[in-house]
Amino acid sequence: MIDIGKFLTEVRARATSDPLFGRLALMFQQLQDGINQLGTLTGTDPTAHIEAPAPPQGITVKAANGLAYVTITDTSQRSRGLHYFVEASTSPAFLPAQTHTENLVTGRSRFFTLPAKNDSGGAQSWYFRTYSMYPGSQKRSEHQVLGGSATPTAVNVGGTTQLTPLASTGSGTTSQAGEGFGTSQFSALPPNVPKQP
């Protein structure tokens, strides 16, 4: 966050001989407070990246007839700017092409419609994980996997819908799942493409 305390002390000291400096100090104090308040509300810091948040403590999934209801448990201290992500994958290893990201924003539960079978009619299990991230973070929290990272729990959503998902295209500034907003401020440009203004 912005800290101009030393500068403000100097400006206030000059106010004893010139009242204009007192008004300037008030203006700079209000600017600092306003920028820092906005940063806190949006989960950003105007001077640096915010640390990765603590991971959610749990994820629960209930499924029937092609519908999955996912809830996240998070009792850690957080600000309003924290976003939650849920990923559903047909791979227990959460391979990037098979992992699909959904930003829940500030919510900690959501209904998902998922196909129970692939294009060939074979049963298709789903695996779920969650994590959180601030818009101003360069890193996401650790993943919380349904059933644990070592033994992800397969979920059969039920129903008769047949669809093999297309390959995931990632989220945020990254081309793969698992990173929320991404680790960079901007996505990488393809070769020989001029940088955007």
Kindly report, residue by residue over 175-185, the tens digit of the pLDDT: 888 889 888 87
Classify burial at 16, counting beta carbons within 10 Å of its beta carbon; exposed 0-12, middle 13-18, buried 19 or more: exposed
Q: Are residues 128 and 173 in the same domain?
A: yes
The pLDDT tens digits for 114-167 are 999 999 999 999 999 999 999 999 999 999 999 999 999 999 999 999 999 999
Task: Provide the residue range defining the domain that includes 16.
Answer: 5-42
91 domain-assigned:
yes
41 against 194, higher pLDDT: 41
Q: Are residues 38 and 58 in the same domain?
A: no
194 domain-assigned:
no
Please state the rounded mean pLDDT for residues 166-177.
89
Q: Are residues 24 and 107 in the same domain?
A: no
**Contact assessment for residue 187 and residue 177, using Cβ atoms and an 8 Å cutoff:** no
193 against 102, higher pLDDT: 102
Number of domains in the chain: 2
**Contact assessment for residue 153 and residue 127, using Cβ atoms and an 8 Å cutoff:** yes
Q: Are residues 89 and 177 in the same domain?
A: yes
21 domain-assigned:
yes
Q: Are residues 76 and 115 in the same domain?
A: yes
pTM for this prediction = 0.84
pLDDT band of residue 42 (cuts 50, 70, 90) is confident
